[in-house]
């Protein structure tokens, strides 16, 4: 049985004060979500050390939204995976479409970042997803498979055991448009087949694949009911603790 996961990507939202209060709310309400669902929150860098202390000893896991592609040194403004690991960060979102678009993050950079994360015991949540014009041109499956393949083909089988994948169609992010459960299932099955091609069926069956893109309490249950959808990577709806927990309730106990 694969790990079911609901992860909140707060993006560049909340001040540290607001974020700490949100984390406290999530902790307080987390008992209302099924026990077998792993809950992860991914606040901005400025919040992490404080939130790490708050989540310690609770069922909430902590993730970052990025890390440097280098280990350390003269890289002004960057934050290393080692720094994240040191304060108790367990996950890091990598390859989000917003970072691909605004910061030019492509496969070679992502592979370096994943190596840094894994080398420091931080699990990558590797994102992929097509643009609307790519879907309209029927290229979505090829685009997403290429995004995944170009990165995971650089990993060892042992490393792949630590990787979580997330399918986030760009046209569904922050737009209110959600992939239908069938569209999500179709893509997730292709992604799992790509993992199987490189690492075999056992690893493919063990890798959690999350869906992201306007996932909310009203559509989570239908998405999570799909056989290859193992949870969600939640943007806007993760900024309200009750919505975030309601999404996790999309999984049955």
Q: Which is nearer to ligand 13P, 178 or 199 (CB)?
A: 178
Contact 56, 50 (CB under 8 A): no
- Nearest approach in angstroms of CB 253 to ligand 13P is 24
Phi, psi dihedral angles at 125 (to 5 degrees): -105, 95
Cα R_g (the chain), whole angstroms? 17
168 an active-site residue? Answer: yes
Q: Which is nearer to ligand 13P, 18 or 198 (CB)?
A: 18
The tokens for 229 are 């959808």
Helix, strand or coil, per DSSP, at residue 32: helix
Q: Which is nearer to ligand 13P, 98 or 228 (CB)?
A: 98
Phi, psi dihedral angles at 41 (to 5 degrees): -115, 140
Q: Which is nearer to ligand 13P, 33 or 212 (CB)?
A: 212
- Nearest approach in angstroms of CB 131 to ligand 13P is 14
CA 166 to chain CA mean position, Å: 5
- Nearest approach in angstroms of CB 214 to ligand 13P is 4
The residue nearest ligand 13P at its CB is 235
Catalytic residue among 47, 96, 140, 188: 96
Given the rule CB under 6 A, which residues bind ligand 13P?
Answer: 9, 96, 168, 173-174, 212-215, 233-237
Q: How far apart are the first and last CA of the chain?
A: 14
**CA-closest candidate to residue 125, choices 252, 3, 251, 1:** 3
Helix (H) or strand (E) holding 60: strand 60-64
- Nearest approach in angstroms of CB 213 to ligand 13P is 5
Q: Which is nearer to ligand 13P, 208 or 213 (CB)?
A: 213
Contact 229, 191 (CB under 8 A): no
Catalytic residue among 38, 98, 130, 168: 168
Contact 201, 162 (CB under 8 A): no
Residues serving a catalytic function are 96, 168
């Amino acid at each position: 049985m694969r790990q079911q996961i609901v992860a909140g990507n707060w993006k560049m939202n909340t001040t540290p004060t607001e974020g700490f209060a949100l984390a406290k709310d999530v902790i307080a309400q987390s008992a209302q979500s099924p026990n077998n669902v792993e809950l992860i929150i991914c606040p901005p860098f400025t919040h992490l050390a404080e939130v790490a202390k708050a989540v310690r000893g609770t069922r909430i896991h902590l993730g970052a939204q990025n890390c440097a592609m280098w280990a350390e040194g003269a890289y002004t403004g960057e934050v290393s995976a080692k720094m994240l690991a040191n304060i108790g960060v367990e996950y890091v979102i990598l390859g989000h479409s917003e970072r691909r678009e605004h910061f030019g993050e492509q496969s070679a950079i992502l592979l370096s970042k994943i190596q840094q994360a894994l080398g420091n015991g931080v699990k990558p949540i590797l994102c992929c997803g097509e643009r609307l014009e790519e879907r309209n041109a029927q290229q979505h499956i090829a685009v997403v498979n290429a995004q995944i393949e170009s990165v995971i083909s650089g990993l060892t089988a042992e490393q792949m055991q630590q990787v979580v994948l997330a399918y986030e169609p760009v046209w569904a992010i922050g737009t209110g448009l959600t992939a239908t459960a069938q569209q999500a299932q179709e893509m997730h099955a292709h992604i799992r087949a790509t993992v199987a091609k490189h690492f075999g069926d056992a690893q493919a069956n063990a890798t959690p694949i999350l869906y992201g893109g306007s996932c909310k309490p009203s559509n989570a249950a239908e998405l999570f009911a799909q056989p290859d959808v193992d949870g969600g990577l939640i943007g806007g709806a993760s900024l309200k603790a009750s919505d975030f927990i309601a999404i996790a309730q999309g999984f049955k106990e």
